């Protein structure tokens, strides 16, 4: 990852993951109420899982062709605590598109941090990287995720849901796919 890329909002810093984040990463993701909505997060979430994730993030580069990525820790400015993560991945510069998502530690839900971090991720994708479209999704039942996406102008795609195995509980789920065009974001 480009270690220079740090984004700031009013209350948050979005920055690369470091080994100092392991305890806060485990604290946030070792909660089944968070992990059940994320396809690739096992439960329980152990220190070894956090270490693998951070090592993976440190090997990423936004310039890796069609698979470039930014994986940001979400840190509160007030106390320097990592409260979640937000990603911009599968960057395809030729098509002008990317995927990704967000998670917030349950102790920090309903405080506007998710909206603030997700909005900055979108701004960075469209204004800085000059992408044209973002792809996301959510599992049925995770209405807060869909509500967040709708706030920024996301629409459900006409495609069939994508079947994913949720590592937290082993179940197979249909992920509802969503997308946001740069034009819809500007209009919104």
- Token duo for residue 124: 């960075």
pLDDT for the residue 104: 97
pLDDT for the residue 61: 65
- The DSSP result for 155-172, as a single string, is EE-SSPPEEEE-TTT--E
| Conformation bin of residue 109: beta by default, left when phi > 0, alpha when psi is -120 to 50 | beta
Q: List % helix, strand, coil for the chain (3-state, nearest 5).
A: 35, 30, 35
Instruction: Spell out the residues 6+ positions from residue 42 whose beta carbon is closer than 8 angstroms to its own.
Output: 35, 49, 167, 168
Pick out the chain residues at pLDDT < 50: 1-3, 65-66
pTM, to two decimals: 0.92
Environment class of 163 (CB within 10 Å of its CB; exposed 0-12, middle 13-18, buried 19+):
exposed
Query: What values do phi and psi take at 71, rounded to 5?
Result: -120, 115
Q: What is the C-alpha radius of gyration for the chain, rounded to an integer number of angstroms?
A: 16
pLDDT for the residue 165: 86
């Amino acid at each position: 990852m480009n270690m220079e890329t740090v984004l700031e909002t009013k209350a948050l810093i979005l920055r690369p993951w470091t080994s100092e984040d392991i305890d806060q990463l485990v604290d946030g993701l070792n909660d089944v109420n968070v992990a059940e909505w994320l396809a690739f997060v096992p439960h329980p979430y152990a220190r070894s899982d956090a270490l693998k994730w951070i090592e993976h993030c440190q090997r990423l580069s936004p310039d890796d062709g069609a698979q470039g990525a930014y994986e940001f820790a979400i840190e509160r400015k007030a106390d320097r605590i990592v409260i979640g993560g937000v990603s911009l991945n599968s960057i395809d510069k030729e098509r002008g598109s990317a995927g990704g998502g967000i998670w917030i530690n349950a102790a920090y839900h309903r405080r506007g941090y998710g909206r603030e971090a997700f909005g900055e991720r979108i701004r960075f994708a469209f204004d800085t990287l000059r992408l044209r479209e973002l792809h996301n999704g959510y599992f049925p039942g995770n209405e807060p995720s869909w509500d967040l996406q709708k706030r920024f102008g996301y629409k459900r795609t006409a495609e069939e849901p994508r079947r994913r195995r949720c590592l937290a509980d082993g179940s197979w789920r249909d992920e509802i796919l969503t997308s946001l065009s740069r034009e819809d974001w500007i209009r919104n």
